[in-house]
Structure 1
Amino acid sequence: MNDSFTAVEICAGAGGQVLGLHEAGFTHQLAVELDGNACTTLRHNGLTPVAEGDAADGSVWDPRDYEGVTLLAGGVPCPPFTIAGKQLGAVDERDLFAWAVEQVPVIKPRALLLENVRGLSMPRFAGYRQRILDKLTEYGYVGDWQLLQASDFSVPQLRPRFVLVALKLEDAEYFHWPEPGDFDPAPTVGQALFELMGDWKGADDWKGHADKIAPTIVGGSKKHGGADLGPTRAKRAWAQMHVDAMGLADAPPARDAEFAVGPKLTCDMVEVLQGFAGRYEYSFTGRKTSRYRQIGNAFPPPVAHAVGSAIIDAFHRRGPRRPVVVGEHDPIYKALFNADDFLSASKLTKIAGVEMHTAALERHISMLSKDFTVETVTHGQTTKYKLSGFNGFTGQESHIRHEAFLKNRAKIS
């Protein structure tokens, strides 16, 4: 069995997934990233050649040059799917998930690994997910989604991520998602950061209060202000652990420092909470706010390490063979996609094999219509539906994504 496993990664950020996959056994041939500060960090750490720019821009890199790499990976932009955002999905100019899947028949990797926020797992995007799985099946791959919590991989932070792994059938039969029980329990914030509090006299007492796993760290974006530890709900959770989440500190607390809430964290502390410390050696370049954004937006290396190792285990046929079942996320979408003509509500639900009242079906069609073009015709009391296209960007030169991306590029991170 060939032990030389190569990777190309798009939307690589500052390198959390690059680092984790490197530790798992992958050698990167290229990492593509839009943000110049993150690119500087990637180059500084020297784990991969870097192409700076929009991953979908043919002048930045050509996927055809990387045909045959073992793994195509990426952390495609989260805002199109985040629960806290507008969930524009396919019509968000930052969405590259569908485009990334279209690179599979071009690059022909042995495996695909894409990660995103928990919002992509919600009912709002059931049709979107179904389209992804169906496309992968068309290209000869078996895709599977899994919601992973960083805290299950010894990372002292909740950070749920929705991860897609796709492999060719002969490998998919041996792929097993990493099990949380195989990893040490995650330390609490107090345990993880105690030594970084220096000679602060209040550290012992503070450690007792900071006795929980950290909420998800939000790196923020160029569009929304400076660095803090997240939205209002997260700030309340931090305050309960005696951490001031309203910004970042330049250094650990002074020996005699006193706080109304608690100390602010430094970038070094956030690195620990994101899983970069300990067994990994990695450094971030830039000023404080830039460093924090890079760290906070990263995929925790231990999670990438675990998933990457599971993929390599499948290549080596480690573990038992399992039956492969492609999940079904949206039978209504599948019924519409496979139909040649308009379907009435009763016929649509019958083909889909689901029982659904008219109002529920209309809500479902409304959700689908955000990512797909769904035509409707009404004759008397009967409304019929037909799926006539996907609204997302898959590489079309005429897509509105190009104009919107150029207009908003300065705000995209």
Structure 2
Amino acid sequence: MSELNVVEICAGAGGQSLGLELAGFKHALAVELDANACNTLRLNRPEWKIAEGDAASLDVWNPADYQEIDLLAGGVPCPPFTIAGKQLGATDERDLFAWAVELCGIVRPRALLLENVRGLSMNRFAAYRQHVLDRLNSLGYVADWKLLQASDYGVSQLRPRFVLVAMRPEDFSYFHWPEPGKKQPKTVGDLLHDQMASRGWRGADTWRLKANDIAPTIVGGSKKHGGADLGPTRAKTKWKAMGVDGWGIADEPPSAEDPKDHLPRLTCDMVARIQGWDSERYKWEFSGRKTSRYRQIGNAFPPPVAEAIGIAIRDALLRKTTPQKILENVKPVHDPIYAVLRSSGKFMTLEQISKALGEPLDPATLDRHINHLKHDFEIEEKERRGERAYRLGEFKAFLGQENHRRHELFQLQLSKIS
């Protein structure tokens, strides 16, 4: 297998790392903030170069030292976009998505891979996505987004991830999103039966039949939200229907002394198996205490999914696939109103925006859209002949600016960021 090099930011405990390694990428550097996750990476790959600390700090690593790397990859923080959160996007001090895109102007990688939660695919972030595509295009890259389901790649879990892949046009023409596997993932019962029965629990066989579905999304959570459990109330309800107590994580599987109708909790090893670390091929150890281990596992990108995407990127870079024609003058439009305001650069009224769109736009729809834009962009407003006019201003996201408010907020929240 031809070996390609990767720099991975926000590497976490190594789910994406392992998948990319199995796809044929060698780590030139892995950058991660959490000390326990860094220890996990060192435990499993002591030969790797690990940079511990804020990925956006030049004191931790210098992107200019890794110019022309084959792949720049990362699982940048999810809280700015998660549906269960406040969806602060560009104004969240944890948001590094736009900054990671800016790195392409410094590192000039052949390929970029960024993954995040499904929330980033929602209408709320249409303009944010549009900005990312436009910025990558200005840097000479062709990019595409896709919502991938982990269960399509053998992971026994309902875990949608929104993935961005970008390459230079000559490479991107060879890129094809990985096809779903033909084999159905195991049910939770089949996947975990041997672990549930490992200490002689007499109810393991009955439990196996009850746990007859794949798992809901594992939620690792953050330091802001205390200990380890299996997520929000709706997730716990689904877990209970499969015979699992979702209100915590066990130190060990149930024992022979537990009654047959015992409602067991999952262990960290069980959660890791649900996340895709389920065979010798994906063998991995985790460092730290139980809550930290669970958080590392729960926040990871499942290795089989990362491997599938990594192979697709590798095959494109090595020109192993059939090229497809790229229509560079037909760019995807995620947010047409943002696109109109951005291309104009001037104040525009409802009538002018409608005319540019080629279709009528009612005031209520425009008002809702402008309010969405205000979360991530500066919007100037003024009255023009009795009509409200709008002009798109600066993107609020952290792009590497030394004076950005992100630095102060990040330091204030550092003890709670994971």
Which TM class, normalised by the smaller chain length? over 0.9
Counterpart residue number, 1:301: 303
Contact 1:274 1:295 in 2 (8 A): yes
1:411, CA displacement in angstroms? 0.4
- Please give the alpha-carbon distance, in whole angstroms, between the structure 2 residues aligned to 1:107 and 1:396: 17
After superposition, give the CA deviation of every residue in 1:277-321 in whole Å (9 maximum; x if it has no partner). 212111111111111111001000000000000011112323332
Q: Spell out the pairing of 1:270-281 with structure 2 (5 A cutoff).
A: 270-278=271-279, 279-281=281-283
1:103 aligns with 2:108: no
1:260, CA displacement in angstroms? 6.2
Counterpart residue number, 1:268: 269
Contact 2:63 2:106 in 1 (8 A): yes
- Please give the alpha-carbon distance, in whole angstroms, between the structure 1 residues aligned to 2:105 and 2:202: 59
After superposition, give the CA deviation of every residue in 1:128-178 in whole Å (9 maximum; x if it has no partner). 000000010001111100001111110001111000000110111111111
1:116 aligns with 2:116: yes
Q: Which segments of 5 or more consecutive residues in structure 2 lack a partner in the other structure?
A: none
Counterpart residue number, 2:320: 318
Counterpart residue number, 1:93: 93
- Please give the alpha-carbon distance, in whole angstroms, between the structure 2 residues aligned to 1:18 and 1:168: 23
- Please give the alpha-carbon distance, in whole angstroms, between the structure 2 residues aligned to 1:183 and 1:225: 39
1:411 aligns with 2:416: yes
Counterpart residue number, 1:396: 401
1:232, CA displacement in angstroms? 0.3
- Please give the alpha-carbon distance, in whole angstroms, between the structure 2 residues aligned to 1:299 and 1:283: 15
2:348 pairs with one of 317, 321, 343: 343
- Please give the alpha-carbon distance, in whole angstroms, between the structure 2 residues aligned to 1:36 and 1:234: 29
SS at match of 1:162: strand
TM-score (norm: length of structure 2): 0.96
TM-score (norm: length of structure 1): 0.97
C-alpha RMSD of the superposition: 1.3
Question: Against the structure 1 CA distance between its residues 259 and 230, is the aligned structure 2 distance closer, same or farther, given a 3 Å change threshold?
Answer: farther
- Percent of residue pairs identical: 58
After superposition, give the CA deviation of every residue in 1:241-278 in whole Å (9 maximum; x if it has no partner). 00011111111110241276621111110110000121
- Please give the alpha-carbon distance, in whole angstroms, between the structure 2 residues aligned to 1:159 and 1:389: 34
SS at match of 2:145: strand
- Please give the alpha-carbon distance, in whole angstroms, between the structure 2 residues aligned to 1:354 and 1:6: 47
Counterpart residue number, 1:201: 202
- Over 6 Å off, 4+ runs: none
Q: Which segments of 5 or more consecutive residues in structure 1 lack a partner in the other structure?
A: none
SS at match of 1:184: coil
- Please give the alpha-carbon distance, in whole angstroms, between the structure 2 residues aligned to 1:315 and 1:30: 20
1:380, CA displacement in angstroms? 4.4
Moved more, 248-257 or 148-157: 248-257
- Please give the alpha-carbon distance, in whole angstroms, between the structure 2 residues aligned to 1:248 and 1:151: 23
Contact 2:350 2:361 in 1 (8 A): no
Aligned residue pair count: 411
Counterpart residue number, 1:44: 43
Contact 1:157 1:215 in 2 (8 A): yes
Counterpart residue number, 1:223: 224
Contact 2:277 2:284 in 1 (8 A): yes
- Please give the alpha-carbon distance, in whole angstroms, between the structure 2 residues aligned to 1:349 and 1:259: 65
1:183, CA displacement in angstroms? 4.4
SS at match of 1:369: helix
